[in-house]
Chain A
């Protein structure tokens, strides 16, 4: 029943697109005021998408296995929370979520842009409708979430157990709000470009939407990273996996866009940057969807390996790219030439410099992600690009980037000079001495690490000082940059000072190192709702006799039959103790991985600080 309603709602939703497009075109030239009926149609379209979405959720809750999507991705023994999150834990459902966010954002946009010109609003709506129609057709034609199967199976196939995690359950909706939210920036930029509507006021108006997407995208990436750390059990939080990269690329583009819009808002410069970045942000999101969903890259996010779906997104993506290039080249009139006259030492120059750096990071990630595909197609060689590539190409360039981030915000617009040169120098010396002190015993890569830590400390101290000197006048910027310095510092210390022990232990055995000893006490078996749990008990004994108990767990899921390893992590403000246990086939010992990772929790905290800074900026009254 719920499936049936959902299925018809989708078709109704598509019909409303026709009405919206028809009335919008009529309204575009004919009258001076915005036709109220269009707003109702947008609302109805949104309503039907929501209805269809709830229909799918309801089918999942009721374990209605006559629905193919539910059959493929759910199981009666699954806890209700994961039944619901299973709705978007698959290809069809997640595309419905795409559509939900697309329609939600255009509805909110039309509601909240009453003070803008009518033509601009309608044109934005039309561009957004092109995307919406594209996704409606894609959903209904190639990946309908409401396919009916007969005879009705008794039991579903189950959700991949590694996706059954609280952080991951809310990760897709949050990430999508950011990811798909960029569509509204894309549509409105295209509209503004074709109408030559770009102005300082427009920048203020679009900045809010950029911020909303940016905040959600930041938190979404954070959640994905937290999930990888807690669930995948590799002890890392970022693996430069193609799937992570495709979420980081729009984030970088969006961050650049945010900074460009600040310049646009103040100086009416960098309009070309703004347009190109708005287009590329959404294009990168779409490209990401294509890469992970088409099966061209192999990853956890590859739900279905169906070339037909991939081809559809590919064609659609390139139509949008050609449309936007066409608009950019033929409608954009770059009538401000202030850009060329930037003084070398000014806020806008430093923003531009860092944008170039971010563009470089973005290119590195883009090449690392798509180059293997190109190579395979053109020469049928298989390569995999891993962390060393990214680390070597990105990390050294972080140094000037961090310095510019520290100095830039303290410069004035248009023309500036260094004030308090002495203070800048003193802060540099303090950072240098501090990092030398901390790293003095380090053997490997001493020089690079010292400079890196110095630059991060430099940003840290400068932003910390700014809190007091500027008296919270530009709090959001200050906090975001401070959060970033904290992030880099925690990542650096986390990398430099982490210890790892990999060993095989039988029950009752003891592993001893210089600083601690690991005692494998016992294991315990329990039957849970949809899995069997094997929990190990380990005592970690410090030199000074402190004992900490770690309980890593193995879960043997019944449906589908998969063994997952749950790390046990003891977190405090200074360090994380991380332990995983793995079965070794046909042996009576377990493979144990024990890691001490300093400042782990600060990585999460600093990213939260950064997104909180975005939130402050969003609600700031001008």
Chain B
């Protein structure tokens, strides 16, 4: 009996391995890190751009309204590319665009806005870049879509037509 048991044993083991590999083939192996969706927004205190007044973040973001926090700087070239999309988005009533001016020079930033118009309802000042870090930003430009004090979408890099359409679909 023993001699018949061993081949059967091998057969089953290897068939099981075969099955696992076969299943494994059909699983996509492209690793996607979990996005920080639905993460609470960090609270912070900062200066309002162009003034000396400070404001707390809790006063800016209200419940049941969409906000787009856009991190930008006058020295950032891709920010110029995404600017028309922001202007376009600013015409929508149900979203407020908040700018976070990142490691910028006041004069240059003013000039930038004069030249391209400002899509922002409010601009915050992030002199040393710490607020951007708290938000978990990778670089400039970057945008966060916020609803009910939660980040529901994050767009790394400049906005384009696709991401703009997606935002419009969400806020509809």
- Tell me the A residues contacting B by CB distance below 8 Å: 290, 294-298, 305, 307, 310-311, 314, 318, 321-322, 325-326, 329-330, 373-374, 376-378, 382, 585-586
Kindly list chain A residues whose C-beta atoms are within 8 Å of the C-beta of B23.
377
Contacts A329-B7, A382-B31; A377 near B24 (Cβ below 8 A): yes
Chain B residues touching A, majority SS: helix
Contacts A307-B25, A585-B139, A586-B140 hold; do A378 and B14 have CB atoms under 8 A apart?
no
CA distance A298 to B3 in the complex (A): 40
- Inside 8 A of B29's CB, which chain A residues have their CB? 295-298, 305
Contacts of B14 in A (CB 8 A): 318, 321-322, 325
Given contacts A295-B29, A296-B29, A297-B29, contact A373 B7 (CB under 8 A): no
Nearest chain B CB to A507's CB is how many angstroms away? 18
Within 8 A of A (CB), among B14-34: 14, 18, 20-27, 29-31
Contact A298 B30 (CB under 8 A): yes
Chain B nearest CB from A520 CB (Å) reads 21
Which residue of B has the minimal Cβ distance to A297? B29
Given contacts A311-B22, A377-B27, 9 further A-B contacts (CB under 8 A): A298-B30, A325-B10, A326-B7, A329-B7, A373-B21, A373-B24, A376-B27, A377-B23, A586-B139
12 of the cross-chain contacts (CB-CB < 8 Å) are: A290-B21, A296-B25, A318-B14, A322-B14, A325-B7, A325-B11, A325-B14, A376-B24, A376-B27, A377-B27, A585-B139, A586-B140
Expressed in whole angstroms, the Cα–Cα distance for A139 and B132 within the complex equals 52
The answer for the CA separation of A329 and B5 in the assembled complex, in Å, is: 11
The 9 closest A-B pairs by CB, nearest first: A377-B23, A373-B24, A310-B25, A298-B29, A307-B25, A296-B24, A377-B20, A318-B18, A585-B139
Q: What is the chain B residue whose CB lies nearest that of A377?
A: B23
Name B's A-contacting residues (CB within 8 A): 3, 6-7, 10-11, 14, 18, 20-27, 29-31, 76, 139-140
How distant is B6 from chain A, measured CB to nearest CB, in Å?
6
Contact partners of B30 in chain A: CB under 8 A: 298
Residue from B14, B21, B26, B30 whose CB has the most chain A CB atoms within 10 Å = B21
Q: Which residues of A contact B25 (CB under 8 A)?
A: 294-296, 307, 310-311, 314
- Most B Cβ at <10 Å: residue of A296, A326, A330, A376: A296
Given A296-B24, A298-B29, check contact A586 B76 (CB 8 Å): yes
A504 CB to nearest B CB, Å = 13
* Cα A376 to Cα B6 with chains together (Å): 29
State how many angstroms separate the Cβ of B172 from the closest Cβ of chain A.
33
- Which residues on B sit within 8 Å (CB–CB) of A311? 22, 25
For B7, the closest partner residue in chain A by CB is: A329
Q: How far is the CA of A311 from the CA of B23 in the complex (A)?
A: 10
User: How far in angstroms is the closest Cβ of chain B from A223?
Assistant: 26
Q: What are the residues of chain B within 8 A of A330 when measuring CB–CB?
A: 7
A residues near B3, Cβ cutoff 8 Å: 329
Measured CA separation A565–B155 after assembly (Å): 27
Asked if A378 contacts B11 (CB within 8 A), the reply is no
Nearest chain A residue, comparing its CB with the CB of B11: A322
Check if B22 sits within 8 Å of A314, measured CB to CB: yes
* Complexed CA–CA distance, A314 and B24 (Å): 11
Q: Which residue of A lies closest to B6 (CB)?
A: A329
* A398, chain B: closest CB distance, angstroms: 29
Q: Is the CB of A374 within 8 A of B20?
A: yes
In the complex, the answer to whether A296 meets B21 with C-beta atoms within 8 Å is yes
CA of A374 to CA of B16, assembled, Å: 10
Residues of chain B lying within 8 A (CB to CB) of residue A290:
21
Contacts of A586 in B (CB 8 A): 76, 139-140
User: A130 to chain B: closest CB distance in Å?
Assistant: 18
Q: In the complex the two chains form, what is the Cα distance from A290 to B76 in whole Å?
A: 46
Chain A residues closer than 8 Å to B22, beta-carbon distance = 311, 314
Q: In the complex, what residues of B have CB within 8 A of residue A318's CB?
A: 14, 18
Evaluate contact between B31 and A298: CB separation under 8 angstroms.
Answer: yes
Which of B7, B10, B25 has the most chain A CB atoms inside 10 A of its CB?
B25
| Neighbouring B residues of A329 by C-beta, 8 Å | 3, 6-7, 10
- CB pair B18–A314 under 8 Å, yes or no, is yes
Distance in angstroms from B1 CB to nearest chain A CB is 14
A325: nearest residue on chain B (CB-CB)? B10
Distance between A423 CB and nearest chain B CB, rounded to angstroms:
47
Q: How far is the CB of B139 from chain A (nearest CB, A)?
A: 5
Task: List chain B residues, Cβ under 8 A from A585.
Answer: 139
CA distance A294 to B25 in the complex (A): 7
* Contact partners of B139 in chain A: CB under 8 A: 585-586
Q: Which residues of A contact B7 (CB under 8 A)?
A: 325-326, 329-330
Residue in chain B with minimal CB distance to A330: B7
Give the residues in chain A near B11, CB-CB below 8 Å: 322, 325
Residue on A nearest B21 in the bound complex, by CB: A314
The residue of chain A having its C-beta at the shortest distance from the C-beta of B78 within the complex is A586
Query: Contacts of A295 on B, CB cut-off 8 Å?
Result: 25, 29
B76 closest partner in A (C-beta): A586
